[in-house]
Amino acid sequence: MGEQRLIHWNERGEAHMVDVSGKSETVREARAQGWLKIDPEALLRFQAGSLDKGDAAAVARVAAIQAAKRTSDLIPLCHPLRLSGVEVEVRAHPPNRLEVQAVVRCTERTGVEMEAMTAVSVACLTLYDMLKSLDRGMEIGPICLLEKSGGRSGKWMRGDHGD
């Protein structure tokens, strides 16, 4: 792998925001995934659309998009990015799991990995909130980056496909 420098630290060991002004703008994309382990009966209610709070998947998608757009407000050293697209899917995997995937795109000087993972994380938290009356013992995770493209480092894909 070679030696990699931690770039969020300056020569004095202090945290700082990386200067990306010298980088070229390129099309960047990242796909992240998250899981919610849920009681099988609660999953059936989710699939049937019979939740007291309404359409949990729709609310989770909107929450994910909002979160992607606000990532730099949540994670201190992230650059604010002009996102050009955020797609979010919520899929049931019987008997007891929900999967969330988010794809985030932009044309920028730095990548959108954090935006994709933030979107997935907030979608999972939103699903928990929407379903907690049915199952307070839900578990969130793992959350991971599946792939990214663009920038100097080019394309990267998770070897295990996140499953």
The residue count of the chain comes to 163
Catalytic residue among 129, 135, 160, 163: 129
Checking if the pLDDT of 62 tops 70, the result is: yes
Phi first, then psi: what are they for 114, rounded to 5°? Answer: -65, -35
State how far the Cα of 61 lies from the Cα of 42, in Å rounded to an integer.
19
Residue type, 71: T
What percent helix, strand, coil does the chain show, rounded to 5?
30, 30, 40
Closest C-alpha among 68, 61, 62 to residue 117: 68
Average pLDDT over residues 131-143: 97
Query: pTM for this structure?
Result: 0.88
Tell me which residue has tokens 């998608």. 61
**Higher pLDDT pick, 36 / 153:** 36
Could you tell me the residue ranges of all domains in the chain?
A: 26-154
Question: How many helices (H) does the chain have, and how many strands (E)?
Answer: 4, 5
Catalytic, 160? Answer no
β strands within the chain, DSSP E: 26-37, 83-93, 97-108, 139-149, 156-157
Q: What is the tens place of the pLDDT at every residue in 13-48?
A: 777 677 777 788 899 999 999 999 999 999 999 999
CATH topology of domain 26-154: Alpha-Beta Plaits (3.30.70)
Q: What is the tens place of the pLDDT at every residue in 79-128?
A: 999 999 999 999 999 999 999 999 999 999 888 999 999 999 999 999 99
